């Protein structure tokens, strides 16, 4: 008889009562809570989301109001973060800018994830030539260094925030496709899939009921981390003038004028950068925490 | 091994074709007819038609594509719409600068990253470890171009140590290389740390201890070599981010490299230049990946065979 | 000249605890045994009985945190290992006391040749030059029965089979002619046919080099074949300590009896395999009193109340069980402290 480490009485009764799924969620939440840093990340992201939602209410001034008399002012009582080269209040612009950054992030990642998941599922499930073709496409997309693909797309479609969303979305596809393909492949190989196929389950059912739930956790982790990258890329593209156009209060675009006035009014460059950094930091920490909590291999 | 190299090289061909196709197709998406744009305002329909014929725009797209590729292989990427000089020439002037920047940045990424990662892992949970990990977290969260701006502000404007912009001497290289390399260094540091921590838990480390070896020999001789294998992959991935990142860094530091060339070309809608620039950068990247793959396979064959 | 029955290793009341969030685990809970020169001692037990931790404790290889050797003495050639410095321990490991592990697959470093890994320990403890150490390494490979040793020495672990890797481990462990070899389940991960070869190899080398061996296993068959004396461990304690012959012919502790009964027999018709009812207690939640009592068919009230010590019941056998004390047949008063002559 193979002996196992026995649980004491109280543990045994609890186990009998709780269902498997609930146990998993509890374990996950406990692990996640232990990683306090991850919680902080979550709060940061939440903070920005709330700022974005309530922007009109909390913004002290109109972000578009030009006031040339007061331009390039350093932080003061009237303007907590100073004014930019057209006299607009930087703090208000930052607040409204959060909407843009978050929107670009979520839309592009959602777009990239959706397509990536579909491609990954198809490639992993059907295999053979569909796998080869899809993976070649992914390889091609990955063959472009960094944001070059995004640049190319924007050069064709023209500079605008929407095109940035498309461009960043497209360049997010490969990562999701790969991850989903990997997970799909490993689930596909499990014997029970063959068993239910033999029982007559359709492909669609199998994919939706059995494979999809298994790919969710790595996808969510990847999505959170991708949000960080997407926001950085979008800000970068706007910085280059290829994204949101003036007078849009997009953070990257604000940094662009920040460069022009770096010597005379460095605060213009300082604050948008801090905003971007903290939001991205929030997503990164949160994503790290999610990954640690969901990864069964991790043992602290 | 040789077989693997040959197979890998053959694999790059469809990828390269794919890249060229994608670039070509993207350029086709540009609204407006190039001939009309080129002809300028007030041109007659006839002139436009003649121009179209001259540019080969009246032939089927597939033909245009192969025509483009055929010329590209020979080095003819067309001419810049801005100054009519051959695209390739313009790129070739600037490419070395970008490559130098990339090289300097990779050096920072790898050296700084690995050292930081090793220190972090060997002194786990110490002040050094925690600070390094926090800095690394910041490193992947800060926008590189903002970081560059801040560096310029503090070092060039305030302290006057480094020149603000331009290229040419070592001093010119330092700030841009740090800007570009910092993000990668952060990623490498984290990867090195986690890889080393995992290696230290392995059975063969326990065996090494049971042999009576000194702790630092165990870590550096037995552990490090194993730990660095996955780090190679990460460094390889960083090449891409690096090449792409030159675009931003060159803009911030006003460096006359390929990245800036592409960005300017986009702004001025100099499409042949954009096409050529992106294509050449991607081709270089594809070959870099090939080299990294081969290197990784060389170090990893023992694990593959298992 | 050393006498044959001199104790080269004497462990007294060894205690190794693990301090974790779930509580303190007394993995090794006052364990005492001795090892004579050239003898083979078997330590038997199930997973979690503490046998591996005991062996790691001998070389002070316990990962700390969360583990710690908190008490007892380990006398090696008369000196207490627990009071030695790190430097002194390092010169003993691989040199005077060696250890081989269960998984030859993962216990060898994948990025170095096997020859180099053996030569390394030779260079370390015997101060030989590179070339001489390499030659000795090749000689060791020959000694453990690896064909074409010069060629094999240059190969990396993944190029060898499981059995050969374990031979390499043995070569590495015996390269400096240690006086004690600790073998922690050396055959568990190998095929049955290879198991026999490896055990025979260890026995031959033992005879040739005069090494004392501590063989840790959960396989009673291995014990029967290879060991002079045996210590049976359960939940961190030794419950029976006697000669191999006596253990099989005349087991005393109920746990040992249960173990032997649960071995399938080829010479009898068995309808069902006998098992020991119940499960091993959690190390964080040991029962008060004898840790085997909850599963013991003979348990009386004293068993649940007080922990029995390891006591001699005759010259060669020690048992920790109230049943084998003189007062068993009398009724016990619970708080009476019991001694045995």
Q: Per residue in B203-214, pLDDT tens?
A: 999 999 999 999
Cβ pair B149:A285 closer than 8 A: no
Contact B212 C91 (CB under 8 A): yes
Q: Is residue B306 predicted with pLDDT exceeding 50?
A: no
Q: Which range among A179-193, B41-55, B221-235 has the greatest average pLDDT? A: B221-235
Quote the CA–CA distance of C64 and A151 in Å, as a whole number. Answer: 53
C residues 94-123 closer than 8 Å to B (CB):
94-95, 98-99, 101, 103, 106-112, 120-121
Q: With beta carbons under 8 A apart, name residues in chain B contacting C107.
A: 203-204, 206-207
Whether pLDDT at A1 is above 70: no
Q: How many CA atoms lie within 13 A of C23 on its CB side?
A: 8
- In this structure, what DSSP letter does residue C82 have? G
Dist. CA A169–CA B267, nearest whole Å: 21
- Give the predicted TM-score (pTM) of the model: 0.80
- pLDDT of C21: 80
Task: Looking at the complex, report in whole angstroms how far the Cα of residue C120 sits from the nearest Cα belonging to chain B.
Answer: 9
Select the more confidently predicted residue: C261 or C119.
Answer: C119
Q: Do A255 and B146 touch (CB under 8 A)?
A: yes
The predicted-structure confidence for C233-282, as pLDDT tens digits, reads as follows 998 899 999 999 888 888 888 888 888 887 777 776 766 777 787 788 88
**Interchain proximity C101–B302, CB inside 8 Å:** no
Which of C188, C255, C279, C291 to probe the A interface (max A CBs under 10 A)? C279
Mean pLDDT along residues A11-22: 50
| Look-up of token digits 């109280």 | A10
* C280/A3 touch (CB, cutoff 8 Å), yes or no: yes
Binning pLDDT at 50, 70 and 90, where does residue C340 land?
Answer: very low
Task: With a cut of 60, say whether residue C183 has pLDDT above it.
Answer: yes
Q: How large is the average pLDDT for residues C147-166?
A: 90
> Smallest Cα–Cα separation from C302: which of C322, C275, C287?
C322
pLDDT of residue A295: 67
Question: Do residue A4 and residue C276 have CB atoms under 8 angstroms apart?
Answer: no
* Residue A125 Cα distances to A131, B80, B145, B180, B229, angstroms: 8, 46, 41, 39, 30
Neighbours of chain C (3+ CB pairs under 8 A): A, B
Hey, are the CB atoms on C282 and A6 less than 8 Å from each other?
yes
Quick check: bond before C150 cis, omega within 30? no
Of B110 and B267, the one with more pLDDT: B110
The domain made up of B88-299 is a member of CATH 1.10.3720.10: yes
Contact C124 B211 (CB under 8 A): yes
**Pair C190, C162: CB distance under 8 Å:** yes
The total number of residues shown for chain A amounts to 300
pLDDT at position A108 over 60 = yes
Percent of chain C's residues with pLDDT above 70:
93
For all residues of chain C together, what is the average pLDDT? Answer: 86
Beta strands C67-76 and C79-80, pairing class: antiparallel
Query: pLDDT band at C54, cuts 50/70/90?
Result: very high
Contact state of A281 with B137 under an 8 Å Cβ cutoff: yes
- Chain A residues with CB under 8 Å of C275 CB are 1
Nearest beta carbon to residue B19 from set A143, A236, A266: A143
Q: What is the mean pLDDT of residues B210-237?
A: 87
pLDDT digits (tens, 9 = 90+) for A247-285: 888 998 888 888 888 888 888 888 899 999 999 999 998
Judge whether residue A19 has pLDDT over 60.
no
Whole-angstrom Cα Rg for chain A: 24
Contact C222, C42 (CB under 8 A): yes
Report the 10 Å Cβ neighbour count for C168: 28
Radius of gyration of chain C (CA): 21
Helix A90-126 vs helix A212-239: crossing angle, to nearest 10:
140
Min Cα–Cα distance to chain C from A1, Å: 6
The dihedral over CA atoms of C251, C253, C256, C261, expressed in degrees to the nearest 10, equals 70
Structural contact between residues C90 and B214, judged by C-beta atoms closer than 8 angstroms: yes
Looking at residue A206, what DSSP letter applies?
A: I
Name the residue with higher pLDDT: A54 or A205: A54
What proportion of chain B, given as a percentage, has pLDDT over 90?
15
The length of chain B in residues reads 306
- DSSP, res A169: H
* Low-confidence winner among A75-89, B115-129, C40-54 (lowest mean pLDDT): A75-89
Q: How many CB atoms lie within 10 A of CB A108?
A: 27
Q: Which residues of B touch A262 (CB under 8 A)?
A: 149, 152-153, 157
In terms of DSSP bridges, do strands C97-100 and C180-184 run parallel, antiparallel, or are they unpaired? parallel
Name the pLDDT band for C3 (thresholds 50, 70, 90): very low
Confidence of residue C55 (pLDDT cuts 50, 70, 90): very high
Q: What was the pLDDT predicted at B89?
A: 84
CA atoms of C144 and C199, how far apart (whole Å): 12
Q: Is the pLDDT of residue B188 over 80?
A: yes
The minimal CB distance from A7 to the residues C276, C282, C283 is found for C282
pLDDT of B157: 67
Residue B31 contacts C where some CB pair is shorter than 8 Å: no
Instruction: Using the predicted structure, report yes or no on whether residue B132 has a pLDDT greater than 80.
Output: yes
* Helical (H) or strand (E) element with C240: strand C237-243
What is the predicted pLDDT for the residue at A7?
43
Sign of CA dihedral A58, A60, A61, A64: negative
Helix (H) or strand (E) holding A132: helix A128-142
Report the residue of C110, C119, C160 to disrupt the B interface, i.e. the one with the largest count of B CBs within 10 Å.
Answer: C110
Measured in whole angstroms, the distance separating CA A43 from the mean position of its chain's CA atoms is 15
Which pLDDT score is estimated for C295?
Answer: 84
Share of chain B above pLDDT 70, in %: 88
What pLDDT band is residue B125 in, cutting at 50, 70 and 90? confident
In the complex, which subunits touch B with 3 or more CB pairs below 8 angstroms? Answer: A, C
Q: Chain A closest CA to C282's CA: distance in Å?
A: 5
Put simply, the answer to whether C279 touches A5 (Cβ < 8 Å) is yes
Q: Where in chain B is the domain with CATH 1.10.3720.10?
A: 88-299
Residue A6 reports pLDDT greater than 70: no
Dump pLDDT digits (tens) for A46-96: 999 999 999 888 888 887 888 777 777 777 777 788 888 888 888 888 898
Q: Between vectors from CA A96 to CA A94 and to CA A97, what angle results, nearest 5°?
A: 60
Average confidence (pLDDT) over B72-78: 78
How much is the pLDDT for C65? 75
Return the pLDDT at A113: 93
Looking at residues A188-211, what average pLDDT do you find?
Answer: 75
Segment B164-168 shows an average pLDDT of 68
Decide if B216 touches C, using CB distance below 8 A.
no
Give me chain B's average pLDDT, please. 83
């Amino acid at each position: 008889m193979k002996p196992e480490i026995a649980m004491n009485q109280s543990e045994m009764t609890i186990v009998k009562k709780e269902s498997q799924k609930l146990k998993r969620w509890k374990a996950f939440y406990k692990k996640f809570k232990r990683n306090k840093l991850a919680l902080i990340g979550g709060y940061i992201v939440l903070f920005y989301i709330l700022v974005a939602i309530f922007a009109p209410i909390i913004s002290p001034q109109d972000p578009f109001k030009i006031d040339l008399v007061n331009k390039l002012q350093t932080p003061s009582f009237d303007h907590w973060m100073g004014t930019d080269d057209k006299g607009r209040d930087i703090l208000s612009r930052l607040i409204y800018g959060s909407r843009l950054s978050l929107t670009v992030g979520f839309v592009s990642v959602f777009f990239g994830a959706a397509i990536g998941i579909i491609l990954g599922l198809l490639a992993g499930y059907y295999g053979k030539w569909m796998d080869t073709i899809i993976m070649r496409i992914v390889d091609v997309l990955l063959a472009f260094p960094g944001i070059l693909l995004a640049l190319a797309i924007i050069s064709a479609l023209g500079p605008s925030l929407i095109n940035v969303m498309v461009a960043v979305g497209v360049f997010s596809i490969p990562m999701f496709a790969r991850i989903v393909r990997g997970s799909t492949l490993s689930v596909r190989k499990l014997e029970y899939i063959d068993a239910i196929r033999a029982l007559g389950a359709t492909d669609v059912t199998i994919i939706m009921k059995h494979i999809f739930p298994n790919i969710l956790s790595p996808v969510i982790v990847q999505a959170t981390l991708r949000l960080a990258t997407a926001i950085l890329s979008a800000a970068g593209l706007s910085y280059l003038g290829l994204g949101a156009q003036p007078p849009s209060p997009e953070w990257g675009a604000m940094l662009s004028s920040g460069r022009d006035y770096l010597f005379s009014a460095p605060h213009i460059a300082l604050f948008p950068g801090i905003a971007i950094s903290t939001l991205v930091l929030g997503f990164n920490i949160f994503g790290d925490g999610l990954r640690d909590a969901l990864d069964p291999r991790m043992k602290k | 091994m040789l077989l693997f190299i040959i197979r890998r090289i053959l694999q790059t061909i469809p990828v390269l074709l794919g890249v060229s196709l994608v670039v070509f197709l993207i350029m086709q998406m540009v609204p407006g007819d190039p001939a009309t744009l080129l002809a300028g305002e007030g041109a007659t329909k006839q002139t436009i038609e003649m121009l179209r014929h001259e540019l080969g725009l009246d032939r089927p797209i597939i033909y245009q594509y192969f025509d483009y590729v055929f010329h590209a292989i020979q080095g003819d990427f067309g001419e810049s719409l801005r100054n009519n000089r051959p695209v390739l020439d313009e790129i070739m002037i600037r490419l070395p600068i970008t490559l130098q920047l990339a090289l300097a940045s990779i050096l920072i990424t790898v050296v700084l990253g690995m050292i930081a990662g090793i220190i972090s892992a060997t002194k786990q949970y110490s002040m050094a470890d925690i600070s390094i990990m926090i800095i690394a977290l910041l490193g992947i969260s800060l926008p590189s171009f903002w970081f560059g701006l801040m560096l310029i502000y503090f070092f060039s404007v305030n302290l006057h140590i480094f020149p603000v912009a331009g290229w040419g001497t070592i001093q010119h290289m330092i700030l841009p290389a740090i800007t570009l390399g910092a993000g990668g260094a952060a990623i490498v540091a984290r990867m090195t740390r986690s890889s080393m921590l995992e290696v230290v838990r392995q059975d063969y480390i326990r065996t090494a201890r049971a042999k009576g070896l000194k702790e630092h020999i165990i870590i550096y001789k037995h552990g490090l070599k194993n730990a660095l294998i996955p780090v190679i992959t990460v460094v390889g991935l960083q090449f891409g981010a690096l090449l792409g990142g030159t675009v931003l860094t060159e803009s911030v530091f006003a460096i006359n490299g390929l990245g800036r060339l592409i960005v300017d070309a986009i702004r001025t809608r100099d499409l042949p230049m954009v096409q050529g620039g992106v294509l050449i950068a991607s081709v270089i990247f594809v070959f870099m990946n090939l080299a990294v793959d081969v290197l990784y396979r060389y170090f990893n064959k023992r694990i593959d065979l298992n | 000249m050393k006498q044959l029955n001199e104790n080269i290793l004497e462990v007294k009341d060894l205690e190794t605890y693990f301090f974790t969030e779930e509580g303190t685990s007394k993995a090794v809970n006052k364990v005492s045994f001795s090892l004579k020169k050239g003898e083979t001692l078997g330590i038997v037990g199930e997973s979690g009985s503490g046998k591996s931790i005991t062996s790691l404790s001998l070389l002070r290889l316990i990962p700390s945190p969360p583990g710690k050797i908190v008490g007892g003495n380990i006398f090696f050639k008369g000196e207490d290992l627990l009071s030695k410095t790190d430097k002194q321990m390092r010169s003993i490991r691989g040199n005077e006391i060696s250890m081989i592990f269960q998984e030859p697959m993962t216990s060898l470093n994948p990025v170095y040749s096997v020859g180099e890994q053996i030569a390394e320990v030779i260079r370390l403890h015997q101060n030989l030059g590179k070339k001489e150490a390499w030659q000795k390494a090749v000689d060791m490979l020959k000694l453990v029965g690896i064909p074409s040793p010069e060629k094999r020495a240059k190969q990396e672990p993944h190029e060898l089979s499981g059995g050969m890797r374990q031979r390499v481990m043995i070569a590495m462990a015996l390269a400096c002619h240690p006086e004690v070899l600790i073998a922690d389940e050396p055959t568990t991960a190998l095929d049955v046919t290879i198991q026999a070869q490896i055990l025979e190899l260890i026995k031959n080398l033992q005879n040739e080099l005069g090494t004392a061996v501590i063989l840790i296993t959960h396989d009673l068959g291995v014990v029967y074949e290879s060991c002079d004396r045996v210590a049976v461990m359960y939940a961190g304690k030794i419950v029976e300590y006697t000669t191999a012959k006596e253990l099989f012919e005349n087991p005393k502790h109920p746990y040992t009896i249960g173990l032997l009964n649960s071995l399938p027999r080829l010479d009898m018709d068995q309808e069902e395999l006998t098992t020991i009812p119940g499960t091993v207690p959690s190390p964080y939640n040991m029962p008060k009193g004898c840790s085997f009592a909850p599963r013991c068919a003979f348990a009386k009230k004293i068993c649940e109340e007080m922990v029995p010590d390891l006591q001699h019941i005759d010259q060669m056998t020690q048992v920790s069980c109230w049943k084998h004390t003189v007062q068993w047949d009398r009724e016990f008063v619970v708080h009476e402290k019991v001694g045995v002559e």
